[in-house]
């Protein structure tokens, strides 16, 4: 639990920082970035076969707090239907591809 807590602390701070920098536009680019980067990095970690303690620190902790499903859903709820559909597709399809690519890179 300590590894997950330490990773979560730093993942949340990193997401907060990135969101603050890039979510000022009319589109939530910061949330999009952290979710796509997180999918890719988790694919890398899983395929790399890292030890359980490292997976708890980096996968469950850091990337779990770095990526954000709840913020993504809130942002979609606040958008028009057309923009929300675009954002959902722009997040999900590249997210799946990013995880797959991360697993293939290793």
Tell whether pTM > 0.85. Answer: yes
Number of helices followed by number of strands (H, E) in the chain: 6, 0
Q: How confident is the model at residue 50 (pLDDT cuts 50, 70, 90)?
A: confident
DSSP 9-27: HHHHHHHHHHHHHHTTSSS
Q: What is the pLDDT of residue 77?
A: 94
The tokens of 91 are what? 């997040």
- Per 3-state DSSP, what percentage of the chain is helix, strand, and coil (rounded to 5)? 85, 0, 15
Q: What is the pLDDT of residue 25?
A: 82
Query: N- to C-terminal Cα distance for the chain?
Result: 27
Segment 7-46, tens digit of pLDDT: 999 999 999 999 999 998 889 999 999 999 999 999 999 9
The tokens of 97 are what? 């591809």
Q: Using the Cα atoms of residue 39, residue 7, residue 12 and residue 1 in order, give the sign of their dihedral.
A: positive
Q: What is the pLDDT of residue 36?
A: 97
Q: What is the pLDDT of residue 95?
A: 95
Unique residue bearing structure tokens 């996968």: 59
Distance CA 97, CA 92 (A): 9
Q: What is the pLDDT of residue 24?
A: 84
* Residue spans per domain, the chain: 2-105
């Amino acid at each position: 639990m300590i590894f997950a807590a330490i990773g979560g602390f730093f993942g949340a701070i990193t997401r907060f920082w990135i969101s603050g920098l890039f979510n000022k536009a009319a589109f939530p680019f910061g949330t999009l970035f952290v979710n796509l980067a997180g999918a890719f990095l988790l694919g890398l970690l899983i395929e790399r076969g890292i030890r359980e303690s490292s997976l708890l620190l980096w996968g469950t902790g850091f990337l779990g707090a770095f990526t954000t499903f709840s913020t993504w859903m809130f942002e979609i709820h606040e958008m028009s239907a057309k923009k929300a559909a675009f954002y959902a597709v722009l997040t999900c399809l590249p997210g799946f591809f990013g995880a797959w690519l991360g697993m293939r890179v290793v």
